[in-house]
Structure 1
């Protein structure tokens, strides 16, 4: 039998620190969050059919067997940080002529 996925919920604590809590079963997450659908369009095929919860962004892959969900505030702040770091590569423009 295949191992179930681990559901990781990432929130922000009162001091601003990131807090991640793992759940081994979807039922534990369903006790705290309302499922509003299922993912049917992810480019990561392992996420298709995973639940979508009200008030959380996700599902997102995070390592083997871990499905990550984030609060909108965490998603926004981490996306801004990720975008600000850049890749360290400079793009080159070709001059047509």
Structure 2
């Protein structure tokens, strides 16, 4: 497993943009926030034991080596956007379509040989 070595705080700016701050260790975050507990139920085992802060949602994994904390407003907004995103519909080709494409490819191959 890769070591989680970047701690990211995501908040919303006054203009509505996302503000992302990265820290090389948890220490600056511990000094600026109140710890109310420790994560003991994450499915990512590397997050277990990391602090839980008042006013921040997290810790949550982001990539292989980033631990992410979000403000409640950012968490709610991004979760709603994620939930409303429509998945791309994948169409399956029918047996008739596959046979027709194979026949076209065979005809094209014969035409190039002749």
TM-score range, shorter chain: 0.7 to 0.9
Deviating above 4 A after TM superposition, structure 1's stretches of 4 or more consecutive aligned residues are: none
1:57-96 → structure 2 map (5 Å cutoff): 57-89=57-89
> Would you say how many aligned residue pairs link Structure 1 and Structure 2?
89
In the alignment, is the contact (CA less than 8 A) between 2:47 and 2:59 conserved in 1?
A: yes
Deviation of the 1:88 alpha carbon? 2.7
Deviation of the 1:31 alpha carbon? 1.5
Deviation of the 1:4 alpha carbon? 5.7
In the alignment, is the contact (CA less than 8 A) between 1:5 and 1:66 conserved in 2?
A: yes
Match of 1:11 in 2: 11
Partner of 2:27, secondary structure, is: helix
Higher-Rg structure is: 2
In the alignment, is the contact (CA less than 8 A) between 1:4 and 1:25 conserved in 2?
A: no
Mind listing any 5+ residue stretches in structure 2 that lack a counterpart?
A: 91-114
In the alignment, is the contact (CA less than 8 A) between 2:38 and 2:49 conserved in 1?
A: yes
Residues in 2 aligned to 1:32 and 1:89: alpha-carbon distance in whole angstroms = 45
Mind listing any 5+ residue stretches in structure 1 that lack a counterpart?
A: 91-97
RMSD of aligned Cα (Å): 1.7
Residues in 2 aligned to 1:4 and 1:44: alpha-carbon distance in whole angstroms = 11
TM-score (norm 2): 0.72
